[in-house]
Chain A
Amino acid sequence: ETGVTQSPTHLIKTRGQQVTLRCSSQSGHNTVSWYQQALGQGPQFIFQYYREEENGRGNFPPRFSGLQFPNYSSELNVNALELDDSALYLCASSSEWRGGWETQYFGPGTRLLVL
């Protein structure tokens, strides 16, 4: 157990809808990263938040957006859902990013199915 929690565990939506996924980071961690993992693939980096500011973004369209709150928990929002958005969404928390030395601790993920 890493201490990183995600909700919900599973979610079914239809095309065009919007979804919000939530992540509570491990105690003492101020950085949260979000990843999308399609079936049979490795995780792909969506974006990272550090002290409530976006701190890096992968190759995902603007309809993927996020927030980090003062308690360092985070949300991932996806608008105008497409079938290809069906995936496991993972969040990972870490302590202050210092040139990559800090380990990321992953939550169990939210499995999103878009019909």
Chain B
Amino acid sequence: SQQGEEDPQALSIQEGENATMNCSYKTSINNLQWYRQNSGRGLVHLILIRSNEREKHSGRLRVTLDTSKKSSSLLITASRAADTASYFCATEPQGGSEKLVFGKGTKLTVNP
């Protein structure tokens, strides 16, 4: 089952601009994670935010989590062409047997 829904499905921006991706989910969670995937290969872990946290930063990444709205956002600042990839949010549901539940992803294209 896919719990998360990323929005938008696709995003195209110019180098230097900021990119914002949103994720909504359905059930209570232990944590939410963002992953990046290049060209349908392995996923790279970007950042993990726990259910009791509201905001987290890592380099050019900023993640927010609103558990009351069951939503999260990923902001990439000062984007680069190398940021072109698909970005997925993944949640760990509380009490569920599924360890990570992924959304369908946002395909980000950063034009040089």
Contacts and interface: CB of A to CB of B under 8 A. Distances in A.
Interface of A: 2, 4, 33, 35, 37, 39-45, 48, 56-59, 88, 90, 92, 97, 99-101, 103-109, 111
Contacts of B75: none
A101 B48 CA distance: 8
A103 B43 contact: no
Interface residues of B, number: 27
Contact of B102 (A4, A40, A42, A105): A42
A98 to B, nearest CB: 10
A99 B107 CA distance: 30
B92 A42 contact: no
Interface of B: 1-2, 4, 30-31, 33, 35, 40-45, 48, 50, 88, 90, 92, 97-105
A44 B4 CA distance: 11
Contact of A107 (B33, B42, B88, B99): B42
